[in-house]
Amino acid sequence: MTAEPLAEPLYRMPAEWEPHEAAWLSWPHKRESWPGIFERIPPVWAAMIRALRESEEVRLLSRDEAMDAEVRAALGGDLSGVRLHRVPTNDAWIRDYGPIFVRPADPGAACGAKVLVSWGYNAWGGKYGPWDLDDAVPGELGRLLGLPVVEAGMILEGGSIDSDGEGTLLTTESCLLNPNRNPSLDRGGIEERLRRFLGARKVLWLGDGIAGDDTDGHVDDLTRFVAPGCVVTAVEEDERDENHRPLRENLERLRGMRDACGRRLEVVELPMPPPVHHQGQRCPASYMNFLIANRAVLVPTFRSERDRRALGILGEVFPGRKVVGIDCVDMVWGLGAVHCVTQQEPR
């Protein structure tokens, strides 16, 4: 009995370092996501926007005129490089509920063609309701931009995957195989959808995520592509830390992996920051949650002496981009950081 041939990819997910048209964000407004410290959160968004608009246009989702006024106030009245879009949301984590911008896999497709892939969203396995407005965002953006939207028929958050743009995708077993997302799909069924809608000719599976991560192990806190055939990955040197074992196991997996082009991965190690706690709860602090923009890399920092080391390593990895630290000590109390609240649109 012969196996059925794999379906050809319909689309290709560009790598994050490919040129961007814009960076998308949602203005924060859900106080329950940062209990007790919400007033400290809008300034973090303002810092990200100031760093991003030097590199590319910022497209920001805002609920109403009152929220527009909040944005203006946070930016000191300067909205240069920022375009506001009237789209209501439940929360600010646009990486996970927003669309993934892809291109047709057919090289004969129209130059510049873009498509929005809409993945179902259920707030990381039904953890935080309501999420109806967030789930509707891909369709809303498709209408705003006049771009086609395709439904993938699968729950998937953008932070759970990372693409090299050449057919290789990183993800984790702890998240994508979790029955709280797609109980009717096995590993093969999930890989088939990743192949068709993101162009993943090869999926590289890591294991568990980091402590404090309520997403069940998003890969954007663990390991990221930084160039074809090259990844940076988080390591915890302290054997007493609960992150030491899972990160060591992921490192060992990476050392034995090859990408879709047959290259053995070059693996660059990036230290973890010291543990960050709020109200006695450990938060998922990681330098890996960075965003690659056109001329900059925005990196979460945590007021630690390790910040400088992490920024230095990423500066070597991205020699043509300015590495900008974004203080995320408060932001990570929402259980996410820079990458979680941004989504790139390819040029």
The span from the first CA to the last CA of the chain, in angstroms, equals 45
Reading across the β-sheet that carries 57-62, which strands appear in turn? 82-86, 57-62, 20-26, 343-346
Q: Is 167 helix (H, G, I), strand (E, B) or coil?
A: coil
**Residue 194: which of 71, 318, 11, 2 has the closest Cα?**
11
d(C-alpha 84, C-alpha 78), whole Å: 13
What are the residue numbers of the active site? 340
Radius of gyration of the chain (CA): 19
**Residue 299: which of 280, 317, 278 has the closest Cα?**
317
Percentages (nearest 5) of helix, strand, coil residues in the chain: 30, 25, 45
Query: 190 near 94, Cβ under 8 Å?
Result: no
- What is the Cβ-side half-sphere exposure of residue 137, based on CA atoms within 13 angstroms? 34
Site of tokens 């969203």: 121
Query: 290 near 299, Cβ under 8 Å?
Result: yes
Q: Is 123 helix (H, G, I), strand (E, B) or coil?
A: helix
d(C-alpha 243, C-alpha 58), whole Å: 34
Query: 269 near 251, Cβ under 8 Å?
Result: yes
Bridge-based pairing of strands 230-235 and 82-86 is unpaired
d(C-alpha 251, C-alpha 40), whole Å: 35
